[in-house]
Structure 1
Amino acid sequence: MGMYSLTSELSTFKNRSAMKVRVIRTYLVREKKGSSDIKSQKLVLHDPEDTVIHASIPAKIVPKFIHSFVEGKVYGVKNFYVVSNWHTYKTNMHEYMLQFNHETIFKELRSENFPWYMYRLRSFNSLKGNSELNGKELIDISGRVVEVYGPQEKNIGGHNARLIDFVLEDANGEVKICSSYDVTQVLFNLDYPEFINFMDSLRDIGYQTPMKSIASLSSFSFKNTMDESSSKSMELITINEIYDNDKVAARISGIVNPTDWFYSSCRKPGCNEKLEISEGVNKCFKCLKIWEDGILRYKITLRVVDMKGNASFLLWDRECLELIGIIAAELYERSNKTNEPLQQITNLVAKTLLFQITAKKDHTSHHNECNSDMPISLGDDDFLEGFLSDEAESPIAILPPVAVGDATEEPI
């Protein structure tokens, strides 16, 4: 290596060493969650021998480096301290780490002949039941997302945080990810060799992801809506059979009225009744309260189709919030209160979802809506491919039962 030292050659007695490294990861650590004050900047680096080492930049000199290091690029770094790896949760298990100081200098270098070791991937089998696994080491894994739980609001350290957890799967099993806040990074569908090789490995063995779901509750919750459905095989039914069952897989073919996607509801906790204008005021005829204004909530009527028929499904606020990602009031403000169809609403069209439905008894009188002889724009083979392919074009969601209440709408 000439003028550059390898990680294996580092010593705490040398502070004039120089290294040629590729940046695997760079991130800022805040003083506390939600704070704009920076505590430090961290780097994860690897040398030409694929040895990974951690580097720390103290807050006082972060401005010198904050925009200088780019993940994936190669740099020459000189004049740093070699100190003990004192972190509790470690990006690598090396004995030492680097600590930058006021004399540290760096320069971006050519990377054509420098090896690429951005990931240290571990198989799920190597993690499960491994008594020798160090629980303090932060490791890299790759997999296909097969189950996602709805975001949960949690208070952590006195600050509100939005948490979401999901399940990854490879050819050997499943694993659930828990983040380490600032350091954890989740990457999707990048055009890197590691991603391509993983997908090719699944195709080589003829592996297909079984149908999973997006659940309405997180595993952080006491009870999970997926407990029952994930414990046994999921049986698909057609729209024609929905009156004898409560789960149906279907594709959204359209929005019945894309400009009529919300209503103003009562502000009383637990009462989501639509407010009506009565004698010039907004009145809830369920709890008999009068409000100056209500809470905007989603109410979207979908046209859905499957291989055998079609129907109208009514989605309420909770389900729409999970699919669209923002509350109705915020979407209304972003739209500048326009009466034109919104992209966030029309984007629901063509999604293939697994619906869990609640049907009122009087809906059976409209059973003729589910006409098995009605032609579908997609052929049955194409439609099946959308459900069963391991390259499905959209996520498959399971929605919790909705309380239809006093709604007089016909959709289920």
Structure 2
Amino acid sequence: MGMYSLATGLSTFNNRSAIKVRVIRSYLVREKKGSADLKSQELVLHDPEGNVIHATIPAKIVPKFSKGFVEGKVYTIKNFYVVSNWHTYKTSMNEYMMQLNHETIYKELRSENFPWFMYRLRPFDSLKGNSELNEKELIDIIGRVVEVYGPQEKKIGGNNARLIDFVLEDAHGQKLTCTFWDDHVNKIQHLYEAPSKDPVIVLIQFCRIKRGLRDGEVKICSSYDVTQVLFNLDYPEFINFRDSLTDIGYQTPMRSIVSLSSFSFTNTMDESSSKSMELTTIKEIYDNDKYGDLWVAARISGIVNPIDWYKITLQVVDMKGNASFLMWDRECQELIGIPATELYEKSNKNNQPLQQITQLVGKTLLFQITAKSDHTSYRNTPFPVLRINNDPQILKEHCSELLKLEDNDCNSNMQISLGDDDFLEGFLSDEAESPIASMPHVAVGDATEGPVKRCLLDQFSSTQSGKKQKEIKEIKVKLEKID
């Protein structure tokens, strides 16, 4: 290195060091949210070996460097302090950071021969299930946007805040849920308002890792001013990721979803598919005043408001009781497999119950609900649904009795005249139009999983319509029973 030090070789005892670095990130920090008063300018730098170090410029001397430190460019910097890295959320895990001062000098250099280490991308599988993750380290990730949820307004610490949720998918189909705040919302919101048919590749630079307190599931969050969101650039990182998608031919369509934010709860398969899942019954909730987030196995016996597509109240039953569950549009749409825009168009055409919703009657599912004192005191108050799981194996494990009851009640022997074309064609049209028959099981929040399998027999799929049959046959028909 000659006259230049590496980032790993800086010493607090020498404030005359010189370093040659590329600027990874440059951003301003305000005294407080919405304030015009500047607190500092922050830099993230890497040396020729890819070692990353953070640098700070106090507000009073920021004007001295107003013409310098453009992201991606290379500089030599000399005469700076080396101090302890005091940031809580760290762009660099180096023990020290640089602090520029009045004596600091800098100069832009030619960058053609300087190595490019702008991004330190972390694979999704290195985050999931990793108990050694350091949540104070800010990381970089890249993925395709496959779901975008509607922006939300929340009160945080008495202050108004905006957030938006979206889901990224890597080249292997693994997903991460992301929650971005405030100024970052605008960068994502356009994807929600106008979902792209082409792959939208996003590189998130310096984002926070957040692990769920109960389930340990990893989510990604923005981190104040340092987080940066980059879309579909011609950088090597984007090109390599795009090529990996082409190689495997993996294309999950993007979806925009009007819903509650997933920030208040976890939308993942992992917890709900755990063998340690503890279920309670509706009767136990009412009799024992059980409160909190609870899992209940129940069968949908009726739809209170099937016309209200963005939220529906379900009448549900289990082996020992009954209750009302409130299911919001996200869970409803994930279960049905139709985007909100299509449901909205269908509901506007006629003021009739949506067939896609009424077909949910008779389904047995695992619901995670929130139970509060109001629900047990006023039994007509519906329990909000947080998550849904209809994985066949998990249903079989946790609610075999309900499934047996469903099979016994829904299937009966009836004499049906095959000459009744209208009746049979009604089933045929149902089978053709409903997405439920062809989609796999779903856990809410999983963009690649489809809605619940329909509870209809397959016999009618091959029935020839338009021809009257004189003979009468014994056929088992799945009846959707509404209490």
The verdict on a shared fold, with TM-score over 0.5 as the criterion, is: yes
Give 1:176's aligned amino acid.
T
**8 A Cα contact 1:34 1:159, kept in partner:** no
Match of 1:197 among 220, 240, 243: 240
Task: Please tell me whether Structure 1 or Structure 2 has the larger radius of gyration of its CA atoms.
Answer: 2
CA contact (8 A) 2:232 2:238 kept: yes
Matched, 1:164 2:164: yes
2:36 and 2:67 map into 1 onto residues whose CA distance is: 16
**Percent of matched pairs sharing the same residue:** 73
Report the AA paired with residue 10 of structure 1.
L
Q: Please name the residue that 1:29 is paired with.
A: 29
Q: Deviation string for 1:113-160 (max 9, x for gaps)?
A: 000111000011110110011011000000011111111223445543
Q: Is the 8 A contact 1:167 1:176 kept in 2?
A: yes
Equivalence for 1:234: 337
The equivalent of 1:327 in structure 2 is none
Output the CA distance in 2 between the equivalents of 1:13 and 1:362.
Answer: 77
State the partner residue of 2:64.
64
**Secondary structure at the counterpart of residue 36 of structure 1:** coil
Give 1:295's aligned residue. none
1:197-216 correspondence to structure 2 within 5 Å: 197-210=240-253, 212-216=255-259
**Residue by residue, what CA displacement relative to the aligned partner does 1:12-49 show, whole Å, maximum 9, x if unpaired?**
11110000100000111111100001111110000000
Alpha-carbon displacement from aligned partner over 1:323-372 (angstroms, at most 9, x marks no partner): xxxxxxxxxxxxxxxxxxxxxxxxxxxxxxxx6644434899xxxxxxxx
SS class of match (1:148): strand
* Structure 1 unaligned blocks of 5 or more: 237-245, 250-312, 314-354, 365-395, 397-412
Per-residue deviation, residues 351-394 of structure 1 (Å, max 9, x unmatched): xxxx6644434899xxxxxxxxxxxxxxxxxxxxxxxxxxxxxx
Separation in structure 1 between the aligned mates of residue 4 and residue 341 of structure 2, nearest angstrom? 63
Contact 1:33 1:159 in 2 (8 A): no
For 1:96-111, list aligned pairs within 5 A. Answer: 96-111=96-111
Partner AA of 1:29 in structure 2: V
What is the aligned partner in structure 1 of residue 463 from structure 2?
none
Q: 1 CA distance for matches of 2:10 and 2:160?
A: 42
- SS in structure 2 of the partner of residue 82 of structure 1: strand
Q: In the alignment, is residue 225 of structure 1 matched against residue 329 of structure 2?
A: yes
CA distance in 1, matches of 2:346, 2:120: 40
Aligned in 2, Cα 1:122/1:233: closer, same or farther, shift over 3 Å? Answer: farther
- The offset of 1:214, in angstroms, is 3.1
Could you say what the CA RMSD is over the residues aligned between the two structures, in angstroms? 2.7
The answer to whether the Cα contact below 8 Å between 2:171 and 2:241 also exists between their aligned partners in 1 is no
Distance 1:64 1:22, change over 3 A: same
Q: Deviations over 1:218-272 (max 9, x none)?
A: 3246875322433x57369xxxxxxxxx9749xxxxxxxxxxxxxxxxxxxxxxx
Match of 1:360 among 350, 353, 357: 350
Following the alignment from structure 1 to structure 2, what is the Cα–Cα distance between the partners of residues 67 and 155? 38
d(CA) in 1 for partners of 2:65, 2:104: 10
CA distance in 2, matches of 1:356, 1:59: 56
Partner of 2:6: 6
Residue 12 of structure 1 contacts residue 83 of structure 1 at CA under 8 Å; is this kept in 2?
yes
- Match of residue 263 from structure 1: none
Task: Give per-residue Cα distances to partners, 1:285-321, cap 9 Å, x unaligned.
Answer: xxxxxxxxxxxxxxxxxxxxxxxxxxxx8xxxxxxxx
* Aligned counterparts of 2:329 and 2:50: Cα–Cα separation in 1: 43
Query: 1:61 and 1:162, CA in 2 relative to 1: closer, same or farther beyond 3 A?
Result: same
Tell me if 1:83 matches 2:186: no
Query: Which residue pairs with 2:375 in the alignment?
Result: none
Give the TM-score of the pair, scaled to structure 1: 0.56
Q: Equivalent residue for 1:125?
A: 125
Distance in 2 between the 1:127 and 1:133 partners? Answer: 7
**How many matched pairs?**
251
More helix by share: 2
Aligned partners of 2:70, 2:228: CA distance in 1, in Å? 14
- In 2, Cα distance between equivalents of 1:209 and 1:98: 43
Query: What one-letter code is carried by the residue in structure 2 that aligns with 1:227?
Result: E
Distance 1:149 1:75 in 2: 41
| CA contact 1:50–1:117 (8 Å) conserved in 2 | yes
Counterpart CA distance in 2 for 1:92 and 1:25 is: 12
Specify every segment of 5 or more residues in structure 2 that has no aligned partner in the other structure, as ranges.
Answer: 179-220, 266-326, 355-446, 448-483
Amino acid at match of 1:360: N
SS of residue paired to 1:196:
helix
SS at match of 1:226: helix
Alpha carbons of structure 1 residues 35 and 67: separation in structure 2 relative to 1, 3 Å: farther
- Distance between the aligned counterparts of 2:4 and 2:157, measured in 1? 43
Contact 1:151 1:164 in 2 (8 A): yes
Provide closer, same or farther for how the CA distance between residues 362 and 147 of structure 1 changes in structure 2, counting only shifts above 3 A: closer
Q: How does 1:291-302 map to 2 (within 5 A)?
A: none
Please report the TM-score for the alignment, with normalisation by the length of structure 2: 0.48
